[in-house]
């Protein structure tokens, strides 16, 4: 295997699943890793929006969280292609069945970021219905409820660093 990391043509390479809370850098780090490894990138939130023909905010507004989770769970398995990089939404693995699928098929890496950093990243940006307009303490308690699931990942990396550095470490773990 080349030092640049997994290659798209390796059919035996497990997909890489980046997990973590909103604002932990899954999409940004995923894009860097995919580019460096020359691997396909599946960003589940983008796929959901394509499939629905609506933004995440609109999906939540019209069908509620339930409609969003149904689409998310339906599209999730199709992201787990050999050699692919998969950036999952922060709530995609809360469902035990989805977790079992991803944990069984992918190399899971948790981008671990302290809540205060997360809050500084997400509190000023729109487009996340489970964060927009909510208080610091409400979002922090959602984070704490989900943390045990994220910590079940095979690996953890410190995500409180520039994305290129996080991506370096992720590639090493994925290639190991």
Per CB under 6 A, does 91 bind ligand S3P? yes
Q: Under the criterion CB under 6 A, does residue 103 sit at the interface with ligand S3P?
A: no
DSSP H helix total and E strand total for the chain: 7, 5
Check binding of 25 to ligand S3P (CB under 6 A): no
* 19 three-state secondary structure: strand
* Angle CA 5–7–9, to nearest 5: 165
Q: Among the candidate windows 3-11, 34-42, 77-85, 122-130, which touches ligand S3P by CB under 6 A?
A: 122-130
45 binds ligand S3P, rule: CB under 6 A: yes
Under rule CB under 6 A, which residues in 54-83 are in contact with ligand S3P?
56
Q: Would you count residue 30 as binding ligand S3P (CB under 6 A)? A: no
Q: How many C-beta atoms lie closer than 10 Å to residue 145's C-beta?
A: 10
Interactions with ligand S3P, residue window 123-162 (CB under 6 A): 128-130
Listed residue (15, 9, 92, 14) closest to 46, CA to CA: 92
Q: How many residues bind ligand S3P (CB under 6 A)?
A: 11
| Tokens found for residue 73 | 């769970």
* Cα 92 to Cα 154: distance, rounded to the nearest angstrom: 17
Which residues of this chain interact with ligand S3P, rule CB under 6 A?
22, 26-27, 45, 56, 89-91, 128-130
């Amino acid at each position: 295997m080349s030092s640049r990391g997994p290659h798209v043509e390796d059919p035996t390479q497990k997909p890489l699943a980046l997990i973590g809370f909103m604002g932990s850098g899954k999409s940004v780090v995923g894009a860097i890793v995919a580019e460096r490894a020359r691997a396909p990138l599946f960003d589940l939130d983008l796929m959901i929006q394509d499939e629905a023909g609506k933004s995440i905010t609109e999906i939540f507004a019209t069908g509620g969280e339930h409609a969003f989770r149904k689409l998310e769970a339906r599209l999730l398995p199709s992201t787990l292609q050999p050699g692919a990089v998969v950036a999952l939404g922060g709530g995609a693995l809360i469902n035990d069945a989805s977790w079992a699928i991803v944990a069984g098929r992918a190399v899971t890496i948790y981008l671990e970021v302290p809540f205060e950093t997360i809050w500084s990243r997400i509190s000023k940006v729109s487009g996340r219905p489970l964060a927009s307009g909510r208080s610091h303490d409400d979002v922090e308690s959602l984070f704490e409820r989900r943390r045990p699931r994220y910590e079940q990942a095979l690996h953890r990396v410190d995500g409180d660093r520039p994305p290129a550095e996080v991506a370096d470490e992720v590639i090493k773990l994925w290639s190991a």
